[in-house]
Amino acid sequence: MYATKVKRMKWAYLYWFASVIDAIEMIFIVASSWLLFKRHDVSDVVKEGYRVIASQFTKFSYFELKKATSNFKEELGKGASEAVFKSVLADERVVAVKILGDVHRLLVYEYVENQSLDQHLFSRNVIGWKERFKVALGTAKGLAYLHHECLEWVIHCDVKPENILLDGEFEPKILDFGLAKLSQRDRKNPEFSVSEEQKLVKGNRLSNLVLEDGEEQETELTKFLRDIKRKFKSEEVTGIEDGVDTRLSGEFNRIQVEKMNEIGISCLEEDKNRRPTMDSIVQALLECEEGARVQSNSDPHSNI
Q: pLDDT above 70 covers what percent of the chain?
A: 57
Residue 304 is assigned to a structural domain of this protein: no
Residues 68 and 47 in one domain: no
Mean pLDDT, all residues of the chain: 74
| CATH number of the domain enclosing 242 | 1.10.510.10
* Statement: residue 235 has pLDDT above 50: yes
Residue 134 is predicted with a pLDDT of 95
Q: Rounded distance, CA 129 to CA 253, Å?
A: 8
The pLDDT, as a whole number, for residue 203 is 41
The yes-or-no verdict on residue 139 having pLDDT over 90 is: yes
- Give the model's confidence band at 200: pLDDT under 50 very low, under 70 low, under 90 confident, else very high: very low
Asked if residues 125 and 180 have their Cβ atoms less than 8 Å apart, the reply is: no
Claim to verify: residue 254 and residue 127 sit in the same structural domain:
yes
Q: Are residues 95 and 165 in the same domain?
A: no
How many structural domains compose the chain?
A: 3
Q: Is residue 15 part of a domain?
A: yes
Please indicate, yes or no, whether residues 84 and 147 belong to a single structural domain of this protein: no
Strand partners, 87: 95
Residues 173 and 279 in one domain: yes
Confidence category of residue 163, pLDDT binned at 50, 70, 90: confident
Mark whether 258 and 174 lie in a shared domain: yes
Residue 108: predicted pLDDT: 87
pLDDT at site 57: 73
Q: Is residue 90 part of a domain?
A: yes
Q: Please indicate, yes or no, whether residues 25 and 75 belong to a single structural domain of this protein.
A: no
Q: Are residues 234 and 254 in the same domain?
A: yes
CB proximity list for 62: less than 8 A, separation 6 or greater: 104, 106
Q: What is the pLDDT of residues 65-89, one digit of tens each?
A: 889 999 989 988 777 677 888 999 9
Q: Report the alpha-carbon angle 27-29-30, nearest 5.
A: 65
Of residues 132 and 29, more confidently modeled: 132
Confidence (pLDDT) at 254: 86
Domain annotation covers residue 6: yes
Q: Are 269 and 290 in contact (CB under 8 A)?
A: no
- CA dist 237 and 290 (Å) reads 24
252 and 290 inside one domain: yes
Mean pLDDT confidence for 33-41? 57
Confidence category of residue 266, pLDDT binned at 50, 70, 90: confident
Letter string b/e over residues 135-152, b meaning 16 or more CB atoms within 10 A of that residue's CB:
bbbbbbbbbbebbbeeee
140 pLDDT higher than 90: yes
User: Do 196 and 102 lie in a common domain?
Assistant: no
Estimate to the nearest angstrom the gap between the alpha carbon of 239 and the chain centroid: 31
Final residue of a structural domain among 78, 110, 142: 110
160 and 17 within one domain: no
Q: Which of 88, 110, 132 is the last residue in one of the domains? A: 110
Q: Which residues of 249-262 are buried (b: 16+ CB within 10 A; e: fewer)?
A: eeebbebbbbbbbb
Q: pLDDT by residue (tens digit) across 3-23?
A: 555 555 555 555 565 565 666
Is 50 among the domain residues?
yes
73-77, 89-93, 94-98, 218-222: lowest mean pLDDT where? 218-222
Bridge partners (DSSP) of residue 166 are 172
**Arithmetic mean of pLDDT, 244-262:** 87
Q: What percent of the chain has pLDDT over 90?
A: 14
Looking at the fold, whether 267 and 145 belong to one and the same domain comes out as: yes
Say if 303 falls within a structural domain. no
pLDDT of residue 304: 56
Domain assignment present for 100:
yes
Considering the candidates 41, 118, 158, 299, report the single residue annotated as catalytic.
Answer: 158
Query: Taking Cα atoms as reference points, which of 104, 85, 105, 106 lies closest to residue 96?
Result: 85
Q: Residue 72 sits in which domain range?
A: 62-110
Q: Give 283's pLDDT tier (boundaries 50, 70, 90).
A: very high
41 is catalytic: no
What is the Cα–Cα distance from 51 to 54, expressed in whole angstroms?
A: 5
Q: What backbone phi and psi angles, to 5 degrees, belong to 78?
A: -145, 135
CB distance 109 to 96 below 8 Å: yes
Of 15, 33, 57, the last residue of a domain is: 57
